[in-house]
Structure 1
Amino acid sequence: MKEVLPLPADSPARIVAREVLVRGPISRSELARTLGLSAASLTRLSRPLLEAGILQEGIDVQAGQVGRPTRPLDIRPEAHRFVGIKLTGDTASGVATDLRCRPTASSARPLGSHAVDDVVDVICALIGDLSAGAGFSGIGISLGGKVGSGEASGVVQRAPFLGWREVPLARLVQERLGIPVVLANDVVALTVAQQWFGAGRGIPNFAVLTIGAGVGYGLVINDRVIAPPDAGLGLVGHYPLSSSGPLCSVGHRGCSTAMLTMPGITEQLAPSPGIAPSYAEVLQQARDNHPEALSVITSAGTALGTLIAAIANLTMVQTVILSGEGMDLAAVAAEPIDAALSAYRDPEAHPIQLVREPADFGQWARGAAAVVIQQSIVGALT
């Protein structure tokens, strides 16, 4: 996979690749009609994908009683294998996938330290766990933090959970393994996965909201993932939600971090500093109507509904995909979430479609794989 610049989201070649990826097998005539292309243009755009082994021609299909049979186009999912890795402050979680981002293997390894060389060692060992005797066409790595672009592509510019600044992680891993590496912010990668392979397929405008150790926010507008340079700073984490809420670590009262993160919720129920119940225990206590836990979770649900309404109101999306290891809050606090949505939405506005997606770290790793799959397809077209 060669080094490439991303094709524009509205590039005809990119649209052809994604349409076949999502809808294949699909006849050339249907594909051309769907995309508004001539037969000659479709042939020209699909040729490099066929030559790269990304697309394949299917078995001839007779479309009707008369006329020549058509040969549909489809992805060759087994032709390329990829690995996606999600880094946290404690763990490297990985999945091996095919070209449709379907996981074929998974593994995880703890991080013994945050030293860069030690983390690279863990990443390389994890990829060895997933290889099963076969190589990979590309490696995707995602993490919570700011990732460089352009000439700084592949550089971790800031990763608070690891204590890193200006670490050329992609280059270090690529030098060790000789496999192309793509680095991405974890929420951006998860948003790409939802757009290409998940609940966002076929939806031109949607948002992704995640809750876990932090609060993450991804956005797709006109079928384009919005990922400016500051996307990895976690800016939504300090969006104000309650003037009477608790303080976050930097002194913001009632912000998203204080109200919605797993540590923010559990610390409100700690009998003394440093001694807090687990997040699962807090949610169960709320289900059991434990007064203190129920109060905290109700406030968190109201805050979550307020944030969802703000995202939908400001961006005018109608679909919000909820994910992250802390998003069980959405089920436990469904009533206050709905109440906040009703309170902060125009009654004549379209209803917001809330979609729950799996919340394990394997889904984050799959997001990293989606980014490198996208890059490999773009590379075949440039």
Structure 2
Amino acid sequence: MTDATTTEASRSARELAREVLIHGPISRSELGRRLGLSPASLTRLSKPFLDLGLFVEGVEEQKGAIGRPAKPLDVRVDARRFIGIKVTGDDVLGVATDLRATAQTRAAHALGGHDVAAVVEAIAAVVREVAAASGTGDLTDVAGVGLSIGGNVAGRRIVKRAPFLEWRDVPLADLLERELGGLPVTVENDVTALTTAEQWFGAGRGLPNFAVVTIGAGVGYGLVMHDRVIVTPDSGLGLAGHLPLDASGPLCIEGHRGCSTAMLSIPGICAQLGIALGREVRYDEVLELAEAGHPLAVSITTAAGRALGRMLAYIANLAMVDTVVLSGEGIGLWRVAEGAAREALAADRDAEASPLQLHVDDAGFVSWARGAAAIAIEDAFARLRLSA
């Protein structure tokens, strides 16, 4: 977004854009209350967004009131197009989205290796394929690319550490922008991006406080407090990955007994049943065997369910949230272990504590990619230059 303008978007303008993006359509009175703005200031700040076609006005009836009806503000979802990318150790998945990060077209490429140049090339190929499928065939009408990756990211530009890719200190945003002819690229930790997605359009929409737990190649944890996604320099280090959950559980690859990685990650669960059966097993096979009543699979998934329930109780008790979103490519565990998880959760919660609301997001990698797009949209509004 580099529309003709004169001054960088002020903090108040960015906050206004954020509120409308997340909560729109939203009344002007509610916006004024949230942002501490007078009606005159709100009109002044919203005008450039309306002039650029980024906001639209609706009509809100004022029952019993005299005068002109209030006009709530919302984003014009088709005003800009973005591409969100999720990178794993094996694949690159991309989706094209509108301004609400609604997925439109998608594409995926398998990674042949983890060499930085090869991964950058694969990402760029997915970006171009998604753009071609959803627009004019080139990148001219794409406003930005968001990329989510499992690891620690600095300044939304540099991948400091990505264990699944065996990367350290990779200037991924710079490399991709060069490959894509200067198209703005935003890079963020995947759980942070997913948490943003859940806040925008998922089960956390409208909630000021909630947590996200992801199960997949690893175990992730995201947190929203006071309507803000919590991000620290340690985000993406996998700090929730070795939470002790079962004193008699198996060891993870780092030697922690019964930690969240050993008990809940896809590799951890597959390893347990594989050792018991004396052969390699796939994750979907573990779940299928558990559903069919296979005693070893049932024992492993039940123990995983209890571990998940304990982790949920830890989060609810310590972060003092009453809503948790469960997501990730391994969320199928919930299908076979929900009972054990809820039982363990109840056992570790005070009987008089607020009931914990659990929401399962089973959209898979699309949610991760949409989260990446949401990060790019946030950055695009921050870069926007507005006329006074």
Query: TM-score scaled by structure 2?
Result: 0.90
Name which of structure 1's ranges 69-78 and 178-187 shifts more when overlaid on structure 2: 69-78
Aligned-residue offset at 1:172: 0.6
Contact 1:13 1:381 (8 Å CA) reproduced:
no
Cα distance in 2, alignment partners of residues 22 and 205 from structure 1: 14
Name which of structure 1's ranges 227-236 and 20-29 shifts more when overlaid on structure 2: 20-29
Q: Work out whether 1:87 is the aligned partner of 2:87.
A: yes
Name which of structure 1's ranges 86-95 and 274-283 shifts more when overlaid on structure 2: 274-283
Matches within 5 A, 1:181-260: 181-260=185-264
Cα distance in 2, alignment partners of residues 322 and 88 from structure 1: 19
Aligned-residue offset at 1:377: 2.2
Cα distance in 1, alignment partners of residues 165 and 17 from structure 2: 36
Counterpart position of 2:121: 121
Contact 1:18 1:196 (8 Å CA) reproduced:
no
Aligned-residue offset at 1:29: 4.6
Alignment deviations for residues 51-76 of structure 1 (CA, whole Å, 9 cap, x no partner): 44321335x66646852355442211
Aligned AA (1:97): T
Aligned-residue offset at 1:169: 0.5
Alignment deviations for residues 292-330 of structure 1 (CA, whole Å, 9 cap, x no partner): 111101100000000000011110000000000111111
Counterpart position of 1:166: 169
Q: CA 1:31–1:108 in 2, change beyond 3 Å: closer, same or farther?
A: same
Cα distance in 1, alignment partners of residues 30 and 217 from structure 2: 45
Counterpart position of 1:360: 364
Q: CA 1:337–1:381 in 2, change beyond 3 Å: closer, same or farther?
A: farther
Cα distance in 2, alignment partners of residues 309 and 27 from structure 1: 36
Q: Work out whether 1:334 is the aligned partner of 2:338.
A: yes
Aligned AA (1:146): N
Counterpart position of 1:144: 150
Cα distance in 2, alignment partners of residues 62 and 285 from structure 1: 56
Contact 1:62 1:68 (8 Å CA) reproduced:
no
Contact 1:211 1:261 (8 Å CA) reproduced:
yes
Aligned-residue offset at 1:356: 0.5
Q: Secondary structure of 2:173's match?
A: helix
Aligned AA (1:119): V
Cα distance in 1, alignment partners of residues 112 and 149 from structure 2: 17
Aligned AA (2:159): V
Name which of structure 1's ranges 93-102 and 270-279 shifts more when overlaid on structure 2: 270-279
Give % identity. Answer: 56
Q: CA 1:262–1:82 in 2, change beyond 3 Å: closer, same or farther?
A: same
Aligned-residue offset at 1:380: 3.1
Unaligned runs of 5+ in 1: none
Q: Work out whether 1:291 is the aligned partner of 2:292.
A: no
Cα distance in 2, alignment partners of residues 67 and 272 from structure 1: 74
Cα distance in 2, alignment partners of residues 55 and 277 from structure 1: 51
Cα distance in 1, alignment partners of residues 271 and 63 from structure 2: 66
Contact 1:54 1:377 (8 Å CA) reproduced:
no
Q: CA 1:362–1:67 in 2, change beyond 3 Å: closer, same or farther?
A: same
Aligned-residue offset at 1:44: 2.5
Counterpart position of 1:96: 96
2:322 to 318, 323, 341: 318
Cα distance in 2, alignment partners of residues 222 and 32 from structure 1: 17
Cα distance in 2, alignment partners of residues 343 and 169 from structure 1: 44
Q: Secondary structure of 1:117's match?
A: helix
Counterpart position of 2:5: none
Cα distance in 2, alignment partners of residues 25 and 282 from structure 1: 44
Alignment deviations for residues 200-221 of structure 1 (CA, whole Å, 9 cap, x no partner): 1111110000000100000111
Q: Secondary structure of 2:331's match?
A: coil
Aligned-residue offset at 1:184: 0.2
Contact 1:327 1:359 (8 Å CA) reproduced:
no
Aligned AA (1:205): N
Q: Secondary structure of 1:165's match?
A: strand
Q: Secondary structure of 1:121's match?
A: helix
CA RMSD of superposed structures (Å):
2.3
Q: CA 1:237–1:26 in 2, change beyond 3 Å: closer, same or farther?
A: closer
Aligned AA (1:165): R
Contact 2:23 2:206 (8 Å CA) reproduced:
no
Unaligned runs of 5+ in 2: 3-8
Aligned-residue offset at 1:232: 0.7
Counterpart position of 2:160: 157
Contact 1:158 1:165 (8 Å CA) reproduced:
yes
Contact 2:177 2:183 (8 Å CA) reproduced:
yes
Query: TM-score scaled by structure 1?
Result: 0.91
Q: CA 1:248–1:34 in 2, change beyond 3 Å: closer, same or farther?
A: closer
Counterpart position of 1:372: 376
Aligned AA (1:144): G
Aligned AA (2:56): Q
Contact 2:211 2:321 (8 Å CA) reproduced:
yes
Aligned AA (2:147): I
